[in-house]
Homo-oligomer: A and B are copies of this chain.
Amino acid sequence: MAGGRRFRAGDGDGPEAAIRFADAAAERELLLDPELKFGELFTDGRLILEVGSLPELLAVLLGRNHGEPSLRQVRALATLRRLGRRIAGRNTLLRARRNVERHYDLDDRLYALFLDADRLYSCAYYATPGMSLEEAQTAKMRHIAAKLLAGPGQRVLDIGCGWGALGLYLAEVAGCASVRGITLSAEQHRVAQARAAERDLSGRVRFALEDYRTLQGSFDRIVSVGMFEHVGPAHYDAFFRTARDRLAEDGVMLLHTIGRTGVPWPTNPWITRYIFPGGHLPTLSEMMPAIERAGLMLADVEVLRLHYAETLSAWRARFLAHREKAAALYDERFCRMWEWYLASAEAAFRYEDAVVFQLQLTRRNDVVPLTRDYVAEAEVRLRRAEEEVARGEVEPVRVAG
């Protein structure tokens, strides 16, 4: 093909991949701004994969990293910290809603093509090797419910409830008295409401189109999964102060968010331009000052890394298996964009410093047991409850509206 060039990387044993540029300008653009341009050129069909898959290409390019930042990178990143914060910008109530619409209001049928049946759009928990995506997503809800010390009598708030799976789990399996789930996506809200009604849980599980900042009330448990990535550093104080104000004095909060373990740094520009506008992946050093100032007490931090690489790999495999349906919904260009999104995100968890933080937060130092043993014990109980629900042995408790 005219103007094309070839590259090949990888040694004898490792993965191998080759790319070709469709035009001479493409290569120049890539060299000038690789973080943005790799995804753009691939999406536009100007960077063409000739040998290997995207994961193999990324393994060739990043495979030796094991998540360790090079010292050069660390120094460069440190000096750019303030700039990064400015870039991350402010998510006003209006912009927050627009950002969410941009991603989560994509055609519902698209998400059905690559997510599990329960529609969990966050890192799964591969509790044992060889789990399917479905099993790992259920294990994630079980793990979160265990660390929330979730149980009967509790009022639960789910900030960023998605399509409702976790809220329904907390009511149905963990037996929580009531769940209020909030989202900014009209599409998610519609689906979540319908699912609650379908399972006769509308009395106990209410989903609302609402911003966390305008919320009122007090809750025994607060959970937030995969939403904090959209908050933005300028609003961390507001987020944690709101959480503290909404949390009962003997309450427990579980925050599950993508983050990074290197120095603070603006999120990949391709991701913020094409996939998650307004998004920022926080380091603990960015989150902790706001948590401390809010008067929330840190009770535990779990750091999940390769779980998300496995999750993204499973999503990508499903997406590729249904690629023709996705192309019919959108077009080829969209499919390449989505493929790059899933493959580059997987590489960030496998080779770079991307992680999922699960932060357990409280207002008192005596509401979480002394050792972590309670987590495994609760998971055994919850698994039994899941089986009872599946066998229809649990009669949903109806609470008057």
Contacts and interface: CB of A to CB of B under 8 A. Distances in A.
A71 B298 CA distance: 16
B66 A372 contact: no
A66 B295 contact: no
A321 B292 CA distance: 39
A220 to B, nearest CB: 16
A297 B366 contact: no
Nearest to A263: B292
Nearest to A299: B303
- Size category of the binding interface on chain A: 35 or more
Interface string A333-363: 0000000000000000010010100000001
Q: A71, A78, A301: which has the most chain B beta carbons within 10 Å?
A: A301
A299 B78 CA distance: 21
Contacts of A106: none
A369 B246 CA distance: 35
A108 interface: no
Contacts of A295: 68-71, 74, 262
B261 A298 contact: yes
B292 A288 contact: no
A306 to B, nearest CB: 6
B292 A303 contact: no
A288 B286 CA distance: 9
Interface in A253-274: 261-264
B66 A365 contact: yes
- What are the nearest 3 A-B pairs in CB distance? A67-B365, A66-B364, A301-B301
Interface of A: 66-71, 74, 78, 125-127, 249, 261-264, 283-285, 288-289, 291-293, 295, 297-307, 350, 353, 355, 363-366, 370-373, 375-376
26 contacts: A66-B363, A66-B365, A67-B297, A67-B365, A67-B366, A69-B295, A74-B293, A74-B295, A127-B373, A263-B292, A283-B288, A283-B292, A284-B292, A285-B285, A285-B288, A285-B289, A285-B291, A300-B301, A300-B303, A301-B301, A301-B303, A302-B372, A306-B365, A307-B370, A355-B365, A376-B376
Given A74-B295, A284-B288, 17 more contacts: A66-B365, A67-B366, A70-B295, A71-B295, A74-B293, A126-B371, A262-B295, A263-B292, A263-B293, A285-B288, A285-B291, A298-B301, A298-B355, A301-B301, A304-B370, A306-B365, A307-B370
